[in-house]
Amino acid sequence: MTVTLRAPRNRVSRRAIGYWTLRALGGWLVLGAIQLVWLMSAGPTGLRLLALVATAVLGTVHLIVMPRWRYRVHLWEATPEAVYTQSGWLNQERRIAPVSRIQTVDSERGPLEQLFGLANVTVTTASAAGPLKIDGLDHATAQRLVDDLTTNTQATPGDAT
């Protein structure tokens, strides 16, 4: 008999794909702009043009592949006993924390996230290594998750260390 760890049940919002794309686009644009300025000021040579083209190709591939891959990986689940998340794309990580050990539940909405109607939820335990972050949740879902977790956490006594 083999035992496997199934993935968490819930997907994040589909709008997260757009959010991740836009967030990554910023970095690539900065890199491209630096190369463009360099190209203009120092004159175009074969190597510099090649570098710019390579950046454009890599950036495009990253922007197309990463958000969709990430969307398939990012999953979460909260039961009355535990919170379980999966995140990443190339490197993937699953984190499990018992509700009885939860110390804080934070919900945050950055400007980009507000644009897409998203929010992220961070669940921290007494360990500095164990925060569970759920990225790209629908705002209403995030609100409900925070409420659920807060209620469950209050029900368990102890100082959670």
Partner 1 sequence: MTGPQPWVGEAAGTVDGVDPSWRRLSPRMLLVHPVQELPRALVPLLGIFVAGTTSGHDWWAVVSLAGVVVAAMLRWFTTTYRITPDYVQVRQGLLRRRELSVPRDRVRTVDVTAHAIHRLVGLARVEVGTGRSDRSDEGVRLDGLSAAEASRLREELLHRRARPATETAAGTATETAAGTAAETAPAPAEAVPVAADVEVELVRLRPGWVRYGPFTLSGFVTVGVIAAFLSRLVNEAHLDPTRYGPLRAVAGHLTHAPVGLAVAEVLAACVAVVALASTFGYVLAFWGFRMTRHSAGTLHVTRGLLTARATTIEERRLRGVEISQPLLLRVAGGARCIAIATGLRVGRGAERGGSLLLPPAPRAEAERVAGEVLRSREPATAPLVPHGPRARQRRYTRTLGTAALIVGVLLAGRWLADWPDWAWQVGLVTLPVAWLLAEDRARALGHALVGGRLVTRQGSLVRRRWMLDTDGIIGWNLNRSFFQRRAGLSTLTATTAAGHQRYEVLDVDLAEALHLADEATPGLLTPFLERHA
Closest Cα partner for 12 from 143, 145, 135?
A: 135
Q: What 3-state DSSP class applies to 92?
A: strand
Q: Should residue 47 be labelled a site residue for partner 1 when binding is judged by CB under 8 A? A: no
Instruction: Please choose, out of 18-26, 50-58, 73-81, 133-141, the segment that lies near partner 1 by the rule CB under 8 A.
Output: 73-81
Q: Are 98 and 82 in contact (CB under 8 A)?
A: yes
Report the residue from 8, 76, 118, 142 that binds partner 1 according to the rule CB under 8 A.
8
What is the full DSSP assignment across 16-38? Answer: HHHHHHHHHHHHHHHHHHHHHHH
- How far apart are the C-alpha atoms of 37 and 100, rounded to whole Å? 54
Neighbouring CB atoms inside 10 A of 136's CB total: 27
Q: Should residue 67 be labelled a site residue for partner 1 when binding is judged by CB under 8 A? A: no
Instruction: Please choose, out of 20-28, 49-57, 74-82, 137-145, the segment that lies near partner 1 by the rule CB under 8 A.
Output: 74-82
Nearer to partner 1, 22 or 160 (CB): 160
Binding-site size, partner 1 (CB under 8 A):
31
Q: Are 142 and 120 in contact (CB under 8 A)?
A: yes
- How far apart are the C-alpha atoms of 156 and 60, rounded to whole Å? 48
Nearer to partner 1, 100 or 107 (CB): 100
* Footprint of partner 1 on 75-114 (CB under 8 A): 77, 79, 81-82, 84, 90-98, 101
* Footprint of partner 1 on 109-148 (CB under 8 A): 125-130, 132
Q: Please report, as ranges, the residues that interact with partner 1 according to CB under 8 A.
A: 1-6, 8, 77, 79, 81-82, 84, 90-98, 101, 125-130, 132, 160-161
